[in-house]
Amino acid sequence: MTAVKQGNPGARRLRSAGMLTAGAMLLVYIGIVAFLAISESSLVYVSAGEGRRGRPLPGADVSIPWDTLRVRAADGVRVFLLVSRVDTSASRPWAIFFHGNAGMVGSRSSVERYALLRDAAFNVLAPEYRGYGAALSSGPASETGVYADARAALAYLTDSLRVPSRRIIVYGWSLGSGPAAQLGAEFDLGAVVTEGGFTSLPDVGAELYPWVPVRMIMRNRFDNLGIARRITEPWIVFHGRRDTEIPFAHGEAIALVGPTAWLVPLDAEHDDGVIADREVALAELRRLRAVLR
């Protein structure tokens, strides 16, 4: 009679325990990826959904003049605009400013940049993203919505105020680099300015979560690098050398690909940017202003 070789019960238990552990780890991983995918909008649009809790409008301590109005986007959504004029001269160039994802049009960081642009001799127009602050009731924030709001701001200047598009620059800080680059690619403008801009949001996400297939699951793309070759206007790429949120390499990559872009390194981090290195930024903006026709 041939003896039947019995397996080692201890080894079987170890294999079973290993499989259970691997299965549990896989479920945890899937859960984390699912959570990040579901939470994407709240992670991207940090200040969306905030009304009075944030700073939807400039405070009483703001020294520059400002006013507000609402216009309609192409999709029918009402777009909130903040306006700060240097004067009413028909020849005065305009800057459309797009703030970062954790700010609003009334945030101190935004107002400081309005003041910088005004010192460079630009009137300023700042659209609020739908779902943010003063535009809280305009619907949820999204990439498509941000672009629609940006186009509505530009249309207000070109159609309602009859400002020639070549006398308009777009300035995007951080998340705002997305709509600024998009308008620069779509329209014949005076110039594009980005500050602390990224190559794309999935690139940023992949750096933050290298173990997650971010590039596959992210819905909000803001692919600045992908459209960079289509931007033919003069393009200032401001970027802080000490920026740890959007590393300096993003600015270098954009400036390398953009045919008319040039990199202006700032002695700054992400949030302070042109405010920390104001003289350098102001000199660049004044040179840009001088060549606008």
Task: Kindly report the backbone phi and psi dihedral angles of residue 23, in degrees, each rounded to the nearest multiple of 5, phi listed first.
Answer: -65, -40
Q: Each residue of 9-55: pLDDT tens digit?
A: 766 676 766 666 666 666 665 666 666 777 799 999 999 987 656 78
| CA geometry: angle 64, 69, 74, nearest 5 deg | 130
**What torsion, rounded to 10 degrees, do the Cα atoms 227, 228, 233, 234 define?**
160
pLDDT of 80 over the 70 cut: yes
- For position 34, what pLDDT does the model report? 66
- For position 148, what pLDDT does the model report? 98
- The H-or-E segment that residue 94 falls in is strand 94-98
Instruction: Specify the pTM.
Output: 0.90
- For position 9, what pLDDT does the model report? 73
pLDDT of 3 over the 60 cut: no
Q: Each residue of 52-63: pLDDT tens digit?
A: 567 899 998 899
- Which class for 148: exposed (0-12), middle (13-18), buried (19 or more C-beta within 10 A)? buried
Which residue has better confidence, 10 or 148? 148
- Under DSSP, the state recorded for 167 is G
**Mean model confidence pLDDT for the chain:** 91
Domain 45-291 fold is: Rossmann fold (3.40.50)
Question: Measured between alpha carbons, how far is 219 from 201 in angstroms, rounded to an integer?
Answer: 9
User: Could you identify the residue written with the tokens 């931007």?
Assistant: 231
- Whether 196 and 263 have beta carbons less than 8 Å apart is answered as no
- Whether 222 and 198 have beta carbons less than 8 Å apart is answered as yes
Q: Where are the domains of the chain?
A: 45-291
At 106, the pLDDT band (50, 70, 90 cuts) reads very high
Return the minimum-mean-pLDDT range out of 20-34, 73-87, 118-132, 236-250: 20-34
- For position 39, what pLDDT does the model report? 78
Q: Each residue of 166-220: pLDDT tens digit?
A: 999 999 999 999 999 999 999 999 999 999 999 999 999 999 988 788 888 999 9
- For position 38, what pLDDT does the model report? 75
At 146, the pLDDT band (50, 70, 90 cuts) reads very high
